[in-house]
Amino acid sequence: MKKLFLLAFILFSVVSFSQTKKIKILSTELSTADESKYPGATLLIGKVKMSHEGATLDCQRALLYKDKNLFKAIGEVVIEQGDTIIQYSDFATYDGNTKKAKSWGNVEINDKEMTLKTDTLHFDRINQILYYPSGGTIKDTKNTLKSVKGTYLLRDKKFTAQSKVTVVNPENHLESDHLDYYTNTQLAYLYGPSTITNLKDSTKVYSERGFYDTNTDISYFVKNAKLFLKERTVSADSLYYDKRKGFASATNNIKVIDTVQKMVAKGNYAELYEQKDSLFIIDRAVAISVFEKDSMHVAGDKILLTGKPEKRIARIFNNVKIFKSDLQGKCDSIHTSQETGLTRMFKRPILWSKNSQITGDSIQLLTNKETNKLDSLKVLQNAFMIQQDSIHKENFNQIKGRNIYGKFENDELRTMMVIGNAESLYFNNNDETHKLETITKEIASDIEFILEDGQIAQTKYFKKSEGTTYPPSEFPSEEHKFKGFIWRGDEQPLSVEDIFVKDTTNTAPTREKKELDVVKEAKENFLKESSKKESKERKKPNLKELK
């Protein structure tokens, strides 16, 4: 009896289950059959309405295959899934067993967030997925999205578009190969080469992976990110950009190209403010000025660029180093004006021009704005120029005076004029034997000299007061170096990579650092002493000992 009851229950369940799977005819004007033309089908004509598990279909004509649980709808097809979506098309097929539909011909589908139009659409009701293979358009309250292929997840409100994707709104135009777009939040996640163009000012952002909020106009990119502004191009490993605030921050392998001034800035962290026309860079920060034959690299702890291109100011702070193939330098900070072409070096500035070391209280470089070439040099107050003898390294040719003015030709230092209290000291070697023959010391009001390949080739003295040439044995040893002589050859950057090396020598500790060092030393001494006492007496120091 129990077995019979169980068998009956199973049969009832199977019948009930199969009935819930069957497509139901709700209404039609005419129901007929034509086995010759439509074998196994019921032909429904006029105001056809069918239902299947929460979905209804309306059309003008349909073929219903009851055995296969399949229908084909023709003319003014409308499919509704509860209050979720409503779909229109010219034709449709629906499989009640798999719950999959295919619609074609002027397909349009609507839900609460969007409208989708395409020529052919596949609908998987079990997984709630819509898919079109040959071009489609989605519109929501903000954006219009087009692509060749697209998949829409109804539960997640997520649209995945591939191949020739565009997202357009009144402010921006986005192009991509692959993106995910959420119609409820209007957020886009980019997974292929993508470009966002602002339609008002034509600024562009490019990336191969990132995120874009179409509501706030904020984007964040993490692969091959590039920002194209009117006068600058910014590239980096990652880039955050708030278009409405005009703010961008970039991280790692940053490269900022000034297309107007032919200048490049690099670093590992940068902040850019469009409205203030300013750029801030740190972490291996370097500014590169492109000249005709060579490029000048200027590195420091921080780079700040402000102002419009024609009036731009460049400031580089702390541990500044300069490298050009024939000119190197070092100072604490640099100030450059694009309007005047003047660059000023502050705090113990020094330049090396091939074999010459040049120092002074202040050093200035002037660039010709029309040719973008180095024009002239000023060394103000306590000007000093030193050349180490290439044979006898202990000897140094020296020129000093109040000020030194130099002139560049084709970006190379060619002439220099020492003005005021000029002195010179030369160690003269025999050209053949290279033996030191004489030492000449001259004192004049002014001295002019010409450089060829970094060497002093010609010297001219003005209002010379005295000058003496000595045999090496008769020249006083204490006068081998002028007062104020400091040779800083070990500080000279010899390659581009050297400008990023932090100096640890010749830097006086600050007052705060000295105090910290004293505290650190006292603490270490106390710990050593207390450790000794503890090992001997096996007790901690009391308050008296601590004091």
| Cα–Cα distance, 57 to 443 (Å, whole number) | 108
Q: Which of 354, 332, 319, 324 is nearest to 489 (CA)?
A: 354
pLDDT for 390 equals 84
**Which pairing describes strands 225-228 and 295-306: parallel, antiparallel, or unpaired?**
unpaired
The string of DSSP letters for 265-333 reads: EEEEEEEEETTTTEEEEEEEEEEEEE-SS-EEEEEEEEEEEES-GGG-EEEEEEEEEEEETTEEEEEEE
**Helix, strand, or coil (residue 498):** helix
Contacts of 399 (CB under 8 A, 6+ apart): 384, 385, 386, 418, 422, 423, 424, 425, 447, 449
| Cα–Cα distance, 9 to 13 (Å, whole number) | 6
Residue scoring higher pLDDT (171 or 524): 171
Q: Which of 424, 457, 427 is nearest to 441 (CA)?
A: 424
**Which one-letter DSSP state was computed for residue 371?**
T
Please tell me the pTM assigned to this model.
Answer: 0.76
Sign, CA dihedral 199-202-203-207, equals: positive
Sign, CA dihedral 348-399-501-376, equals: positive
Lowest-pLDDT range of 448-457, 483-492, 495-504, 524-533: 524-533
- What confidence tens digit (pLDDT) does each residue in 439-449 have? 999 999 898 98
- What confidence tens digit (pLDDT) does each residue in 267-315 have? 999 999 998 889 999 999 999 987 767 888 999 999 999 988 888 899 9
- What confidence tens digit (pLDDT) does each residue in 530-542 have? 455 444 444 444 4
Is residue 222 a contact partner of residue 238, using CB atoms and an 8 Å limit? Answer: yes
For tokens 């084909």, the residue is: 72
Pull the structure tokens for residue 402: 């109040």
Q: Tell me how crowded residue 433 is: count the other CB atoms within 10 A of its CB.
A: 8
- What confidence tens digit (pLDDT) does each residue in 314-372 have? 999 999 999 998 889 999 999 999 889 899 999 999 999 888 899 999 999 998 888 77
| Cα–Cα distance, 119 to 80 (Å, whole number) | 18
Pull the structure tokens for residue 415: 């002439």
For tokens 């020249």, the residue is: 475
| Cα–Cα distance, 305 to 277 (Å, whole number) | 8
pLDDT for 2 equals 42
pLDDT for 521 equals 55
**Mean model confidence pLDDT for the chain:** 86
